[in-house]
Amino acid sequence: MRNLYLASKNKGKIKEYKKLLSTINCKLLLQPESLEVEENCLTFRDNAIKKASEVSRKTNNFAIADDSGICIEALDGKPGIYSSRYAENDQKRIERVLKELNGLKNRSAFFIANICVCSPNGEVIIESEAKCHGNIIFRPRGKGGFGYDPIFEETSNGLTFAEMNNVMKDSCSHRAKALKKIIPDLLEIFS
């Protein structure tokens, strides 16, 4: 069985990937604690490539990474690639977004995920991108998930990501949709 390193230190993402990759016949390993990858690129795609490629080269194994975030129309796409750095923790990031949207009618937003898989020499072998559209609500709702989940109400079912169980979030989230597109490629590599 081949190893696949998950190039992420985000506990929420790691939990989702463990489920989403459960059909792939690989040994899923976590990025070594000592390995820090600086996210200094200007696009989701380039950051995803940087994370997967550095972790694959340093571990000499396949690696998968995503760079993701929430883009809010009335804030000209912010927080965007700065989603994880918008304030010091999830609660403060949510407070900042709600404050910046205070008084604004347009609450339209989308989550986006760019996924990249690299071979053990750091070469990009698979890429995928997907979005999930919704609205930023006025007060957080729900206890599940992570990050901006409690203030993001998904368009098709009117629930926030934090109100959904894992199965529901995986049926519509940016990350799950991006990953579903590349499952056939992963099945082939790890067959």
CB 24 to ligand ITT: min, Å = 18
CB 146 to ligand ITT: min, Å = 5
Write out the two tokens for 9: 């230190």
Q: Under rule CB under 6 A, how many of the chain's residues touch ligand ITT?
A: 21
Rounded distance, CA 120 to CA 53, Å?
A: 8
**Residue from the set 10, 119, 166, 171 that interacts with ligand ITT by CB under 6 A:** 10
DSSP symbols for 126-159: EEEEEEEEEEE-SS---SSSSTTGGGEEETTT--
- The mark string for 119-158 relative to ligand ITT (x by CB under 6 A, - otherwise) is --------------------------xxxxx---------
CB 191 to ligand ITT: min, Å = 26
Residues 39-78 that bind ligand ITT (CB under 6 A): 39, 51, 67-70
CB 80 to ligand ITT: min, Å = 9
67 is known as an active-site residue: yes
Contact 107, 50 (CB under 8 A): no
Question: Longest Cα pair distance anywhere in the chain, in angstroms?
Answer: 54
67 vs 163, which CB is nearer to ligand ITT? 67
DSSP symbols for 37-82: -----SSHHHHHHHHHHHHHHHHTSEEEEEEEEEEEGGGTT-BGGG
User: Which of 77, 95, 84 has the alpha carbon at shortest distance from 150?
Assistant: 95
Catalytic residues: 67
Query: Interface with ligand ITT by CB under 6 A: which residues?
Result: 8-10, 13, 39, 51, 67-70, 83-84, 111, 145-149, 161, 173, 175
